[in-house]
């Protein structure tokens, strides 16, 4: 032990510094055939507490993110609570969004000081239904959903718009994919990891032109959890807590024809509010399910060529719906906590073609 | 609460079995625009939107807040979507209020809705789930045995449920937005209605409604500005609480759930309430089946355990001479856009505290309780509003 008095970094938003102090995730797999959602979550929850030697009694708030449409029934979050065992009754809430937004809700509550730690988790088994059809139900129910546009075709429209605008080429998409899957070789929780050349990837057939298989995310079952804590608890539980110095989220119009699909205005606004540009960024975890979307988000956040992007492999290596955004925050925090980065950016997305985006900046004490 | 928060605008739609005249976006916008008008604000003055609804399968739209973002003026702003089962309307308001009390935003629009006519809630609630007891008969089938347990435990006579059904429908006659307006409602009419899930008769259950509710929540500064601009006073938040407990658990008391008791204890402590029946001037409580009034009277500490039905029986919860009028709006028994039902409870308390409840106004309301519950009585959300600043 040294006698240095640990202090949180200056925070841009909120009155109280809040940090990620623990992160755990389930191995991302194509299909969890033997375990239901609660069983996938249980070891993740156990690990996120065990990492820092606490129990559920040490967190004053629980918040989760999931969606009913993956399980094909109402109230998917209800049974998930059994992974924790909320007895005696707990202060608990749920967003029908990626759990990155559950983390936001918890961060807000922690600002008030009544609660000094929170558990956040997200989960989803994408393998249970036909994602192409399920995700079409996210579209405008009157004019879009009845046409059943699938997410790959929509993404192809966006990729085509990028090419037509002269902003990227198919080779650029392949480079993102090759780098992401190569990085994923070092991530034990990744689902798709390989070391292939860009030329190998460009030899693949189109799934929907201009997107080849490598530019698509895998279909993933998964779950993740994070413990958030105010500074006092954070320093008790973690040597190097990953403080959230800024966090914001924004949404764009749902009407795809009314958006410039080659940019992400909501990411830019959220990034500016979170203060991305106010310091050097060592590492960025970007939630870009399709290869070309990494280029869009990267540009929207103004990340330079020196920033290490998606060392985990990102959503191209594992794309568990409803926890994929939280995992980006967890992975970024992990790099702060293990001392390999001092300042990190995490990004989460929701909705078709990057409609809604959240950006968090994390920093070492 | 780091900062003060007040309700500065309230809006709701006309509730009906089918609102074929509006899309989902039109429905939420109807409520939201009324809340903005009430607060004297325009869309551009809202910092963030928090929207809630019950399961997406009730309309067949996955995460509909994405589609609704432009209709709610949220483009370029933060929007969050809450889902905590039937309590969601209450929880959504609380998530929005915390954005203000945490000092993040000054004016937050919160909206909740259900357009039940777009799908079939009974079907959506009855999809078999692996490893879970099938519900098969919707919420009424789930709650009927719990009500029977209450009757056995408390010795309540069988007419109590019918009294609630009549009382809430009489209240609804004073509420122009209510779905059900039954001027001829009587004990005999309720008794003669078909038995759906014994002891729940047709007229002892809530309707299926299309509808939405909205509120604008503001900081102390925003509340002062709204009052100056509109002449309508804010309703101050004095306490907020949520509690959840497990669904399947041998130690669970589903008649008088601990999550509800703990939630009430928490919110009363924040608001300095020690004698709820004496200190509240009215309450809006989630009563989707008539018998939940006496059950929640006990759960919320308005009387001793086992005595809830006596309050109902002696007319204590009636606007017509009762000392603690419950559900002056007509309650969930008179309008049930599921996702919005909890927010309607919260919004109606705001109307009462602001003195804006029209014909259903209770005289001299200084403090009111809003409660919502959901699931199989394992999710609770509550707030206390008052005329004076906390």
Contact A103, A120 (CB under 8 A): yes
pLDDT in tens, B279-303: 999 999 999 999 999 999 999 999 9
- Out of B230, B264, B295, pick the residue that ends a domain: B230
Beta bridge partners, B49, equal B79, B109
One domain for residues B104 and B193: no
By residue range, what is the domain housing residue A97? Answer: 18-130+220-244
CB contact under 8 A, B70 and A94: no
Q: How many distinct structural domains can be found in chain A?
A: 1
Query: CB burial class (10 A; 0-12, 13-18, 19+) of residue B14?
Result: middle
Q: Which residues contact B168 (CB under 8 A, 6 or more apart)?
A: B287, B290, B327, B330, B331, B333, B334
- Out of B230, B264, B298, pick the residue that ends a domain: B230
**pLDDT score at B247:** 87
pLDDT band at A183 (very low <50, low <70, confident <90, very high): very high
| CA closest to B379 among chain A residues | A92
Instruction: Give the domain CATH number at B37.
Output: 3.40.47.10
Structural domain contains residue B171:
yes
**pLDDT score at B125:** 77
CB contact under 8 A, B1 and A112: yes
pLDDT in tens, A293-337: 999 999 999 999 999 999 999 999 999 999 999 999 999 999 999
**pLDDT score at A61:** 98
One domain for residues B60 and B113: yes
d(CA A43, CA B126): 30
One domain for residues B257 and B351: yes
Instruction: Give the domain CATH number at A24.
Output: 3.40.47.10
Q: Distance from A141 to chain B by nearest Cα, in Å?
A: 6
One domain for residues B192 and B212: no
Residues of chain A contacting B91 with CB distance shorter than 8 Å: 93
One domain for residues B266 and B222: no
pLDDT band at A3 (very low <50, low <70, confident <90, very high): very low
The 3-state DSSP class for residue B372 equals strand
Structural domain contains residue A47:
yes
One domain for residues B213 and B337: no
Q: Which of A90, A350, A356 sits opposite B243 (nearest CB)?
A: A90
**pLDDT score at A2:** 42
Structural domain contains residue A64:
yes
**pLDDT score at A281:** 98
Backbone angles phi, psi at A118, to 5 degrees: -145, 145
**pLDDT score at A332:** 98
Q: Distance from A175 to chain B by nearest Cα, in Å?
A: 31
Does A108 contact B at CB distance below 8 Å? yes
One domain for residues B257 and B377: yes
CB contact under 8 A, B24 and A141: yes
Between B375 and A265, residue with greater pLDDT: A265
CB contact under 8 A, A109 and B102: yes
Neighbouring CB atoms inside 10 A of A208's CB total: 17
Structural domain contains residue B130:
no
pLDDT band at A45 (very low <50, low <70, confident <90, very high): very high
Structural domain contains residue B131:
no
Strands B200-201 and B195-197: antiparallel
Residues of chain A contacting B47 with CB distance shorter than 8 Å: none
d(CA B164, CA B167): 5
pLDDT in tens, A140-154: 999 999 999 999 999
Strands B79-82 and B48-52: parallel
One domain for residues B274 and B346: yes
Q: Which residues of chain B have pLDDT under 70?
A: 1, 129-137
Structural domain contains residue B92:
yes
One domain for residues B167 and B226: no
d(CA B4, CA A121): 29
One domain for residues B316 and B246: yes
Q: How many distinct structural domains can be found in chain B?
A: 2
Structure tokens at B301: 């500490």
The CA radius of gyration of chain A, in Å to the nearest whole number, is: 19
CB contact under 8 A, A72 and B98: no
Structural domain contains residue A35:
yes
Structural domain contains residue B300:
yes
pLDDT in tens, A214-232: 999 999 999 999 999 999 9
**pLDDT score at A290:** 98
Structural domain contains residue A60:
yes
pLDDT in tens, A188-203: 999 999 999 999 999 9
**pLDDT score at B122:** 76
d(CA B213, CA B9): 11
Residues of chain B contacting A274 with CB distance shorter than 8 Å: none
pLDDT in tens, A81-92: 999 999 999 999
d(CA A105, CA A99): 10
By residue range, what is the domain housing residue B215? Answer: 6-120+208-230
CA distances from A111 to A17, A177, A325, A339, B316 (A): 8, 38, 22, 26, 41
Structural domain contains residue B221:
yes
Backbone angles phi, psi at A233, to 5 degrees: -65, -40
Between B130 and A25, residue with greater pLDDT: A25
Query: CB burial class (10 A; 0-12, 13-18, 19+) of residue B134?
Result: exposed
CB contact under 8 A, A145 and B61: yes
**For the residues of B35-104, what is the DSSP string, one character each?**
HHHHHT--GGG--EEEEE-S-GGGTT-SSTHHHHTTTTT-BTS-EEEE-BTBTHHHHHHHHHHHHHHTTS
**For the residues of B122-191, what is the DSSP string, one character each?**
HHHTT---TTS----SHHHHHHHHHHHHHHHHHT--TTHHHHHHHHHHHHHTT-TT-S---TT--HHHHH
Q: Which of A14, A104, A253 sits opposite B75 (nearest CB)?
A: A253
User: Can you list the positions of beta strands (E) in A173-280?
Assistant: 206-208, 211-212, 221-230, 242-251
**pLDDT score at B127:** 73
Structural domain contains residue A38:
yes
Where do we find the tokens 């609460």?
A: B1
Structural domain contains residue B125:
no
**pLDDT score at B139:** 85
The rounded Cα B63 to chain-centroid distance in angstroms is: 22
One domain for residues B76 and B114: yes
d(CA B177, CA B387): 24
Structural domain contains residue B133:
no
d(CA A123, CA A66): 6
DSSP B308: H
The closest of A231, A203, A27 to A117, measured between CA atoms, is: A231
């Amino acid at each position: 032990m040294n006698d240095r008095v640990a202090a949180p970094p200056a925070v841009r938003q909120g009155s109280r510094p809040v940090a990620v102090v623990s992160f755990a995730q389930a191995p991302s797999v194509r299909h969890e055939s033997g375990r239901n959602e609660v069983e996938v979550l249980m070891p993740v929850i156990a690990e996120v507490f065990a990492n820092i030697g606490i129990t559920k009694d040490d967190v004053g708030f629980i918040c989760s993110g999931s969606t009913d449409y993956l399980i094909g029934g109402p109230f998917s979050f209800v049974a998930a609570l059994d992974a924790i065992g909320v007895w005696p009754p707990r202060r608990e809430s749920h967003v029908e969004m990626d759990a990155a937004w559950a983390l936001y809700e918890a961060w807000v509550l922690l600002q008030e000081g009544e609660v000094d730690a929170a558990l956040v988790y997200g989960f989803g088994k994408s393998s249970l239904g036909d994602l192409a059809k399920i995700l079409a139900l996210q579209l405008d129910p009157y004019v879009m959903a009845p046409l059943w546009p699938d997410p790959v075709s929509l993404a192809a429209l966006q990729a085509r718009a990028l090419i037509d605008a002269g902003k990227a080429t198919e080779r650029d998409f392949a480079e993102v994919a090759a780098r992401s899957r190569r990085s994923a070789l070092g991530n034990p929780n990744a689902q798709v990891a390989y070391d292939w050349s860009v030329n190998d990837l460009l030899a693949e057939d189109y799934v929907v032109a201009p997107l080849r298989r490598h530019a698509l995310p895998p279909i993933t079952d998964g779950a993740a959890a994070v413990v958030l804590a105010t500074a006092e608890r954070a320093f008790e539980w973690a040597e190097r807590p990953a403080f959230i110095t800024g966090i914001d989220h924004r949404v764009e119009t749902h009407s795809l024809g009314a958006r410039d699909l080659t940019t992400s205005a909501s990411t830019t606004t959220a990034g500016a509010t979170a203060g991305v540009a106010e310091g050097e960024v060592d590492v960025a975890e970007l939630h870009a399910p399709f290869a070309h979307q990494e280029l869009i988000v990267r540009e929207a956040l103004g990340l330079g060529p020196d920033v290490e992007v998606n060392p985990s492999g990102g959503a191209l290596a594992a794309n568990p719906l409803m926890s994929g955004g939280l995992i980006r925050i967890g992975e970024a925090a992990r790099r702060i906590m293990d001392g390999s980065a001092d300042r990190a950016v995490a990004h989460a997305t929701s909705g078709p073609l990057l409609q809604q985006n959240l950006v968090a900046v994390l920093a070492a004490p | 609460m780091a900062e003060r928060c007040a309700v500065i605008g309230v809006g709701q739609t006309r509730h009906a079995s089918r609102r074929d005249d509006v899309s989902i976006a039109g429905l939420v916008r109807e409520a939201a625009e009324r809340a903005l008008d009430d607060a004297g604000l325009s869309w551009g003055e809202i910092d963030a939107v928090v929207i809630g609804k019950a399961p997406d399968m009730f309309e067949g739209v996955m995460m509909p807040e994405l589609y609704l973002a432009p209709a709610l003026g949220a483009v370029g702003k933060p929007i969050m979507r809450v889902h905590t089962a039937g309590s969601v309307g209450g929880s959504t308001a609380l998530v929005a209020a915390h954005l203000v009390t945490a000092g993040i935003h000054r004016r937050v629009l919160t909206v909740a809705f259900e357009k039940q006519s777009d799908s079939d809630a009974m079907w959506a609630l009855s999809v078999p789930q692996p490893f879970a007891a099938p519900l098969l008969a919707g919420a009424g089938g789930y709650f009927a045995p719990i009500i029977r347990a209450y009757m056995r435990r408390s010795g309540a006579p069988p007419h109590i449920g019918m009294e609630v059904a009549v009382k809430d429908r009489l209240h609804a006659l004073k509420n122009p937005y209510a779905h059900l307006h039954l001027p001829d409602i009587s004990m005999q009419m309720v008794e003669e209605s078909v038995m759906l899930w014994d002891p729940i008769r047709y007229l002892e259950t809530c309707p299926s409604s299309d509808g939405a509710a909205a509120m604008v929540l503001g900081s102390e500064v925003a509340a002062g500005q709204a009052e100056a601009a509109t002449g309508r006073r804010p309703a101050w938040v004095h306490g907020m609480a949520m509690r959840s407990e497990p669904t399947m658990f041998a130690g669970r008391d589903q008649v008088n759930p601990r999550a509800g008791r703990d939630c009430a204890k928490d919110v009363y402590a924040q608001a300095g309430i020690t004698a709820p029946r004496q200190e509240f001037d009215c309450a809006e409580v989630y009563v989707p089946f008539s018998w939940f009034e006496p059950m929640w009277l006990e759960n919320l500490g308005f009387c001793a355990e086992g005595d809830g039905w006596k309050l109902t029986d002696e007319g204590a919860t009636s606007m017509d001479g009762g000392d603690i009028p419950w559900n002056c709006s007509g309650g969930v028994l008179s309008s049930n856009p599921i996702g919005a039902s909890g927010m309607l409870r919260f919004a109606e308390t705001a109307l009462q505290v602001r003195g804006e409840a029209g014909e259903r106004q209770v005289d001299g309301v200084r403090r009111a309780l809003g409660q919502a519950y959901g699931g199989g009585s394992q999710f609770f959300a509550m707030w206390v509003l008052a005329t004076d600043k906390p």
